[in-house]
Amino acid sequence: MSAKKPTIAIADYGIGNLGSLANAFAYNGADVLVTSRGADLVAADGMVLPGNGAFGACKQAMDKLSISRWIGQRVSGGRPVLGLCVGHQVLFDDSTEFGSHEGMGEWPGTVEKLKAATVPHLGWNTIRPAQNSTIFAGLENERFYFAHSYAVLEWNFDQGIEVMEPPHVSWSNHGGDFIAAVENGPLTGIQFHPELSGYAGLQLLNNWLGTL
Amino acid sequence: MSTVIRVIPCLDVNNGRVVKGVNFENLRDAGDPAELAHRYNNAGADEITFLDVTATTEQRDTTYELVNSTAKEVFIPLTVGGGIRSVEHVDQLLRNGADKVSISSAAVSNPDLLNEISNTWGAQVLVLSLDAQANPAMPSGYEVMIKGGKEGTGMDAIAWVQEAEERGVGEILINSIDADGTRDGFDVDMIKAVRAAVSVPLIASGGAGEPSHFPPAIEAGAQAVLAASLFHYGPDDMIGQVKDAIEAAGFTVRR
């Protein structure tokens, strides 16, 4: 990272643990802005899309702020966006939580209920990081904090599509495998909460800040 | 379960200071919440709970500023309870660094609050704090208590946790008023009774006096264990000692 503090814009659409996220990025030396203004979300070095709770309610609130448009503008310019928890889920095609809801379709896949005896999946779990993962560098054996009932259970990306670099997909398991994180050029999605995962989580966010 | 048993220090906060009393009476000073939170974050706590113990009795809202300064020291989940009566309170707490909210008395007088919070932020943000004590007059033998355990409600505790689960709570914090502050061990029978009635994760609270008290609470069905004075007044490595005891009993912990 350069000497200048990176600027991070956290999207404020009314639902999310905004205070904790801001604290975690501030801890890592970022200049943090919690904002609902599109211009601010596009201008920052990094944009973070938080999310708590129901997919449909979150997506509807995001749509009111044209969040997918700002993400599109950033990604087409190769500028990093990080989606967390429901902010990660909305990057996929759709969700079956409380009916059927359309996502942003950045990646193929459906957000489905975890096939486990106990949901929510709540607590500290391990991950199987993708080879060449940037965000999990040095953190392969750490546990991270999960708090969700839904996830994407299959990765259907057509690896035949010619891309600069195929997406890196990391997995976790709770009553079956599910996608824990996707790193796809400037677009990163994480199902768990790095901001609540102690020093391992802070290091993961620092790894992401290193890509800005 | 693929997740580990969570060990949770609890900060009972009164007028800006962490306090601890026996059976919720005679509050005694234990330090600054932000300082203690920092210490526990570094000592391997898996979560921290911040309960504004005087909020309900004195009819005042939780001090957002205090939560804000405490949250800056915590990079693990921070649950805040005490005096939360509306979704606006929840929104303010999440903006100030809380990750979950714990509702007790307010849910008893206004159960719809549980639905409102869960529908907005999801079940994983909502903890039902059950203050209960043995009462043979109740069908299950346990009565829901309010006002910090000082007042009975005439409600059956087991019927109440089932209703709360249907209304969308993601976790239940079981606090036995009978065991709280005694340091004689958790109320294992109460944990078993709640475990048999609901499927959400349970946090056992009340009565921990030494590391060996923790495994029985987990065997009774708790996914997380919470204590206050044991950590405040015990040696600095008490969280590690508790995790050693849990691990020795055959459960997994985070290291």
User: Are the C-beta atoms of A149 and A103 separated by less than 8 Å?
Assistant: no
User: What local confidence, expressed as pLDDT, does residue B55 receive?
Assistant: 54
The CA-CA-CA angle for residues B246, A127, A45, to 5°, reads 120
Can you tell me the distance from the alpha carbon of B75 to that of A27, in angstroms, rounded to the nearest whole number?
A: 9
- CA pair distance A183, A173, nearest whole angstrom: 18
- Rounded to whole angstroms, the Cα distance separating A17 from A194 reads 12
Residue A122's DSSP bridge partners are A147
Which domains are assigned to chain A? Answer: 7-209 (3.40.50.880)
Chain A partners within 8 Å of B89 (Cβ): none
Which amino acid does the sequence have at B187?
Answer: D
- Which pLDDT does position B59 carry in this prediction? 47
Residue of chain A minimizing CA distance to B40: A198
B26 pLDDT band, cuts 50/70/90, is low
Amino acid identity, position A99: G
Question: Is the pTM value of this prediction over 0.95?
Answer: no
Lowest mean pLDDT, pick from B148-157, B213-222, B243-252 = B148-157
- Does the pLDDT at position B212 exceed 80? yes
What is the structure's pLDDT at B61? 55
Q: How many residues does chain A have?
A: 212
Quote the pLDDT of residue B1. Answer: 43
pLDDT at B51 over 60: yes
CA pair distance A52, A82, nearest whole angstrom:
15
Name the residue among B7, B84, B88, B85 with its Cα closest to residue B51: B84
pLDDT score, position B22: 45
Please give, rounded to a whole number of angstroms, the shortest distance from the CA of A40 to a CA of chain B: 19
- pLDDT single digits (tens) B164-174: 999 999 999 99
- Among the residue ranges A49-53, A165-169, B55-59, B130-134, the one predicted with the least confidence is B55-59
Helix axes B64-71, A18-27, angle to 10 degrees: 40
pLDDT tens for chain A, residues 1 to 212:
456 899 999 999 988 889 999 999 999 999 999 999 999 999 999 999 998 888 999 999 999 999 999 999 999 999 999 999 999 999 999 999 888 999 999 999 999 999 988 888 999 999 999 999 999 999 999 999 999 999 999 998 887 777 778 899 999 999 999 999 999 999 999 999 999 999 999 999 999 999 99
N residues, chain B: 255
Position B3 scores a pLDDT of: 83
pLDDT at A3 (0 to 100)? 63
CA dihedral A88, A91, A95, A98 (to 10 degrees): 60
* Amino acid identity for residue A131 in this structure: Q
Measured CA to CA in angstroms, residue A65 lies from A70, B95, B128 at distances of: 9, 19, 32
* pLDDT score at B58: 53
Assess whether B12 carries a catalytic annotation.
yes
Which residues of B lie closer than 8 Å to A, measured between beta carbons? 1-4, 6, 41, 46, 68, 71-72, 74-78, 91, 94-99, 118-125, 170-171, 199-201, 223-224, 254
Residues with Cβ within 8 Å of residue B227, at least 6 apart in sequence: B8, B9, B10, B205, B208, B242
The three-class DSSP label of residue A93 is: strand
CB-based contacts of B175, cutoff 8 Å, min separation 6:
B129, B130, B131, B132, B149, B205, B206
The answer for residues whose C-beta is within 8 angstroms of residue A29's C-beta and 6 or more apart is: A1, A5, A6, A209
CB B81 within 8 A of CB B103: yes
Helix axis angle for B87-95 and B112-121, nearest 10°, is 40
Q: Are strands A92-95 and A187-190 parallel, antiparallel or unpaired?
A: unpaired
Which of A18, A53, A124 lies at the smallest CB-CB distance from B46?
A124
Interface confidence (ipTM) of the complex: 0.90
Q: Is A120 helix (H, G, I), strand (E, B) or coil?
A: coil
Q: To the nearest 10°, report the CA torsion of A130, A134, A138, A143.
A: -60
Structure-model confidence comparison of residues A92 and B52, the more confident one: A92
CA distance, residue B222 to nearest chain A CA (Å): 13
Strand partners, A81: A47, A187
**A193 chain-B contacts, CB cut-off 8 A:** 77, 99
Determine contact, residues B26/B65, Cβ cutoff 8 Å. no
